[in-house]
Amino acid sequence: MLDENPRPPGRDLLAEKKPRGYVEILSRLHRLVKLDVARHTAKIESAVETSPEQHATIKARLEKIYGAGLDINYRVNPALIGGLRIQVGSDLYDGSVKTRLEKIAAESFSVTSDA
């Protein structure tokens, strides 16, 4: 599992030497490390508990896209009604029934409000 608060390489050296603008450098370095951790973390939500076989299938498909070494976190979220919601870094795949119903409701509202 990846460290949630990793120490970027060179962080201690920057803090010790304190070159001009080192606070900004540390801030940007920290942001890059957080983005890298997020890019290697998959958050998967499902409306019901998923089986080990489903976990294996999901993992295989995600590793085809993002490469091996993903830290995968599963969570049950009954509010989704059905389907899955998967987030890897800034990529979001939302195949939940809840989102589909919200889209239908939004489309219905825009059609009736235009009339």
- pLDDT tens digits for 73-91? 999 999 999 999 999 999 9
Q: Is the dihedral of CA 14, 19, 25, 26 positive or negative?
A: positive
The answer to whether 41 and 70 have CB atoms below 8 angstroms apart is yes
Q: What is the mean pLDDT of the chain?
A: 86
Convert the pLDDT of each residue in 30-41 to its tens digit. Answer: 888 788 878 899
Region of poorest pLDDT, from 11-25, 52-66, 67-81: 11-25
Domain limits, the chain: 1-39, 41-114
Give CA torsion, residues 76, 79, 84, 85, to 10 deg.
Answer: -100
Higher pLDDT, 103 or 7: 103
H-type alpha helices, 19-96: 22-39, 52-66
